């Protein structure tokens, strides 16, 4: 695969993958990104111009997608509307991007017979009880809880149908919650970090006991590249790093890093339909494709993430007031 198209490659997770591909392969990368509020061209700064090209466009528009897909060997599809709170306010963009956009890309991949990898989320499986020893596996039934997770579930089903009905050479990955640099400050960890930087109390939904299975975005990138290179067509792989922590534990860790009291927390109104617990069993990926996460010390990864937000205030500061105003309007 000498030429790869990465959709959403200027966003948080997608841009990390682009950097990972450049560092670990000789492939040329074309990034297709709409450059919505959650993406930034700055995330691609420093990459060699002869190996990375940015095309600004919408994955739901065939006239944009088809010529780009025709000119590459593989498509890695990251582009998505992904913020649950936003999907509760206005589901429309989630249907257009996550379902119509995925359909448009699949049709182009079918027409031009291109390798296709679809990046999805563990949220399609719904949630688990806090005291349930089970984890999500590739065989867990779908049970999405929000317009966001329902739209991602729909796109997953499209990929499977295009594999079975049309022979598209596709794979799917479902990953747990990511953290790391370049994540928009509306998301949980960056919001709490920037609240503490500003001297305020971090805000936690409900009782704070909701559990997420955290993975550093660099480990997500290495897993996706392994699936792209060695994954079996038609298969789904779950990506996780055994990083289960509840929201309260994460916020307390952030406070510790800043030398603040672990009790200096404000509890706010819970999100509607807030999933209780996510947990990934990634044994298939580890055993079949010989993949292992490198960032297994969450505290060290969190410190590096905090350091990045401290050093890059000029990037996130212009968005901070608007983000907090939006949350305040919802009592959060």
Of the listed 58, 122, 244, 281, which one is catalytic?
122
204 burial (CB, 10 Å; 0-12 / 13-18 / 19+) is buried
Please indicate whether residue 148 is annotated as part of the active site: yes
Paired with 76 in beta bridges are 6, 117
Instruction: Tell me the longest C-alpha to C-alpha distance in the chain.
Output: 58
How far apart CA 282 and CA 239 sit, in angstroms, is: 5
**Distance (Å, whole) CA 99 – CA 188:** 25
Q: What is the DSSP letter of 277?
A: B
Catalytic residue (one of 81, 123, 244, 324): 123
Catalytic choice (58, 107, 127, 148): 148
d(CA 274, CA 127): 9
Give yes or no: 123 in active site.
yes
Q: Residue 106's closest CA among 29, 163, 175, 30?
A: 163
Residue 158: which H helix or E strand, with range? helix 147-166
55 CB contacts (<8 Å, ≥6 apart)?
A: 30, 31, 32, 33, 64, 68
Q: Which two tokens stand for residue 5?
A: 């198209």
Instruction: Name residue 203's beta-bridge partners.
Output: 266
The residues carrying an active-site annotation are 122-123, 148
């Amino acid at each position: 695969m000498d030429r790869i198209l990465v959709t959403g490659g200027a966003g948080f997770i997608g841009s990390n993958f682009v950097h990972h591909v450049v560092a670990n392969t000789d492939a040329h990368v074309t990034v297709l990104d709409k450059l919505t509020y959650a993406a930034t061209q700055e995330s691609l700064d420093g990459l060699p111009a002869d190996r990375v090209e940015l095309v600004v466009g919408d994955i739901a528009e065939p006239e944009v997608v088809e010529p780009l897909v025709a000119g590459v060997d593989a498509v890695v599809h990251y582009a998505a509307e992904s913020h649950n709170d936003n999907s509760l306010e206005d589901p429309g963009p989630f249907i257009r991007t996550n379902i119509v956009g995925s359909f448009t890309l699949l049709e182009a991949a079918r027409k031009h017979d291109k390798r296709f990898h679809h990046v999805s989320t563990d949220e399609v499986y719904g949630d688990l009880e806090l005291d349930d020893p089970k984890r999500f596996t590739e065989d867990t039934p779908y049970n999405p809880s929000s317009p966001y997770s329902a739209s991602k579930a729909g796109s997953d089903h499209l990929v499977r149908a295009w594999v079975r009905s049309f022979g598209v050479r596709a794979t799917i990955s479902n990953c747990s919650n990511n953290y790391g640099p370049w994540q928009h400050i509306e998301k949980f960890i960056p919001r709490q970090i920037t609240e503490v930087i500003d001297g305020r109390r971090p805000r936690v939904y409900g009782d704070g006991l909701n559990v997420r299975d955290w993975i550093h975005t660099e480990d997500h990138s290495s897993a996706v590249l392994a699936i792209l290179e060695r994954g079996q067509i038609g298969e789904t792989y779950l990506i996780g790093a055994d990083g289960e922590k509840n929201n309260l534990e994460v916020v307390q860790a952030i406070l510790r890093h800043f030398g603040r009291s672990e009790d200096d927390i404000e509890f706010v109104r819970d999100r509607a339909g807030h999933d209780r617990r996510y947990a990934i069993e990634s044994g298939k990926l580890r055993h079949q494709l010989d993949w292992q996460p490198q960032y297994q010390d969450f505290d060290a990864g969190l410190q590096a993430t905090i350091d990045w937000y401290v050093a890059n205030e000029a990037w996130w500061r212009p968005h901070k007031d608007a983000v907090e105003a939006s949350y305040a309007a919802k009592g959060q």
